[in-house]
């Protein structure tokens, strides 16, 4: 079992109040889940895409950060890419959802689906 990395200020990840509230609501509606997985995967024309998904069972190698009452699970390969990121909830027109503001991003594709570091 992993130990949780809990600090009032952790430079690994920051989460806005709106994002935390929305994720709490989603976990509650789902009725189960230990937390949220944040990660990156190879994709698109510039390199990576973000992964945001529910976690029912953590992986042994996960880095676990607790923020605003939520557990975030980050795999070892995603950790350096996500270092210093801010998770926020955005509403634009009729669309809303989680957005990751990543200070490590060097370039984004035109459609906004992928990024490069």
pLDDT digits (tens, 9 = 90+) for 77-93: 999 989 999 999 998 88
Residue 21 domain flag: yes
The radius of gyration computed from the CA coordinates of the chain, to the nearest angstrom, equals 14
Residue 98 domain flag: yes
Residue 8 domain flag: no
Domain containing 103 — which CATH number? 2.60.300.12
Tokens of 63: 């880095």
| pLDDT surpassing 90 at residue 62 | yes
Q: Which pTM value belongs to this model? A: 0.81
Residue 84 domain flag: yes
Residue 5 domain flag: no
Range of the structural domain that residue 88 is part of: 13-116
Report the range out of 2-16, 46-60, 66-80 with the highest average pLDDT.
66-80
Nearest-angstrom CA–CA distance, 25 and 41: 26
Residue 7 domain flag: no
Residue 45 domain flag: yes
CB–CB of 67/20 below 8 Å?
A: yes
The predicted structure's pLDDT at residue 7: 45
Tally of structural domains, the chain = 1
The predicted structure's pLDDT at residue 106: 67
**In sequence order, what are the beta bridge partners of 52?**
38
Strands of 70-74's sheet, edge to edge? 63-67, 70-74, 35-43, 47-55, 115-116, 107-108
* pLDDT-derived band at 5, boundaries 50, 70, 90: very low
């Amino acid at each position: 079992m992993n130990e949780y990395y809990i600090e009032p200020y952790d430079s690994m990840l920051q989460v806005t109040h709106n994002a935390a509230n929305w994720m709490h609501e989603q976990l509650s509606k789902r009725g189960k889940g230990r937390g949220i997985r944040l990660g990156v995967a190879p994709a698109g024309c510039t390199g990576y895409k973000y992964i945001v998904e529910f976690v029912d069972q953590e992986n042994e190698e996960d880095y676990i950060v607790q923020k605003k009452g939520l557990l975030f699970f980050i795999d070892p390969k995603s950790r350096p890419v996500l270092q210093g990121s801010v998770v926020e909830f955005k509403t634009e027109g009729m669309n809303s959802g989680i957005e990751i503001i990543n200070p490590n991003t060097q370039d984004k594709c035109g459609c906004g689906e992928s990024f490069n570091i």
